[in-house]
A = this chain, B = another copy of it.
Amino acid sequence: MSTAGSKGKGQGAKGKRLKAAPQQSRVRTVKEIAAIAKVSVATVSRALQRPEIVSEATRLRIHEVVKRLGYTPNALARNLRTARTRLIVALLPDIANPFFSEVIRGIEQVAYENGYSVLLGETQSSLVREQAYADMVAARQADGIITMSHRVPAIPIDGRLPVVNACEYVKDSEISSVYIDNVAAAGVAVDYLIMLGHRDIAFIAGPPSSPICVDREQGYQLALQRAKIRANPALTTVGDFSIEAGERAIELLLSQGQSFSAVFCSNDEMAIGAMRALSSHGLRVPEDISVVGFDDIRFARYTSPPLTTVAQPKNALGREAMTMMIELLNDPEVPPRKRVLSADLVVRGSTAARASKRG
């Protein structure tokens, strides 16, 4: 069932080496433009940077030449001089993760609107790679870093670190962060399950190294307390945010003979895994077990049943992070901020009132 596979062929047809066609169009420099337009390089630069301070006649002349020769100023030279690259590193563990890819989209949008570009910093959770990207800032190849992990990369420069934290947050009060109130959001989700009559609510946590996971767990605990439900520690398991982790968590609970009528998961992937594992054990969602996820990734509404989940404002998180970054770069004196966006519970088909009788 494999559909062929061929190597590229060797030498191209006319593989002679045409030595860059004698086409008159080499790479241009200000100097050439200046010479042709009969002005100094300074004037060319000014005509391009701040046209209003150049007389109309010269300006038009220069622009004509620039256009005719297709001149584009060398960004490297400019950046070296101005000490700004207009590049921002977006540091994230995994670009294929649907949550992060939505966030990065928000980042990209605001970046584009402001003349910045985004450098992809996929770390695969490796500290080495994280550091490698942080070093790009030190090497002045990027102006700042938006990190989606809970670590603040060490950048050996002094003064204000050009770092903004998104989704996750760090204790460091010098670092601006955007995130949601995970304790509250998780609480809302669990409140809802309780309202549906569930009392034995399992929790699939994320890696405890990340503060947001701790918060979500705390939200879960607090919600139970509010409802005067004694939390059963055996109902809490830890996963790594993968679909498989969700499956394993359910397998574990079932194999231990735990009794529960609902599961709250720290992210949607684990919820999807959980739903799969449940149905493969003949348990129906939501009739037998209700499932709630977290994030509201693109596919959450297309699972069957559609997943009830806490919707993070993914795009807004990204947009806001980039906005803060630009603010910070424009004025290193602006005080760091911790910005909290709101998250909403989206009720879909994976949750239902607790069945009158059942484990």
Binding site for B on A (CB under 8 A): 1-13, 15, 17, 20-21, 23, 25-27, 70, 72-77, 79-80, 85, 87, 90, 94-96, 98, 101-102, 104-105, 108, 112, 117-122, 129, 132-133, 135-136, 138-141, 156-159, 173, 176, 180-181, 184-185, 187-188, 192, 243, 272-273, 276, 279, 298-299, 302-304, 333-345
Q: How far is the CA of A180 from the CA of B1 in the complex (A)?
A: 13
Collect the chain B residues with CB atoms within 8 Å of residue A139's CB: 72-75
Q: How many copies does the complex hold?
A: 2
Collect the chain B residues with CB atoms within 8 Å of residue A25's CB: 156-158
Q: Are A95 and B108 in contact (CB under 8 A)?
A: yes
Q: How far is the CA of A80 from the CA of B79 in the complex (A)?
A: 9
Q: Are A26 and B340 in contact (CB under 8 A)?
A: no
A335 CB contact (under 8 Å) in B12, B120, B192, B273: B12
14 contacts between A and B (CB under 8 A): A1-B192, A4-B340, A8-B336, A17-B333, A20-B159, A72-B139, A73-B139, A90-B120, A95-B101, A95-B105, A96-B101, A120-B120, A303-B304, A304-B304
Q: How far is the CA of A258 from the CA of B73 in the complex (A)?
A: 59
* Shortest CB distance A14–B (Å): 9
* Shortest CB distance A346–B (Å): 9
Q: What 10 A-B pairs have minimum CB-CB distances, sorted nearest first? A: A8-B337, A12-B335, A3-B184, A75-B139, A5-B342, A75-B141, A2-B342, A3-B181, A20-B159, A76-B80
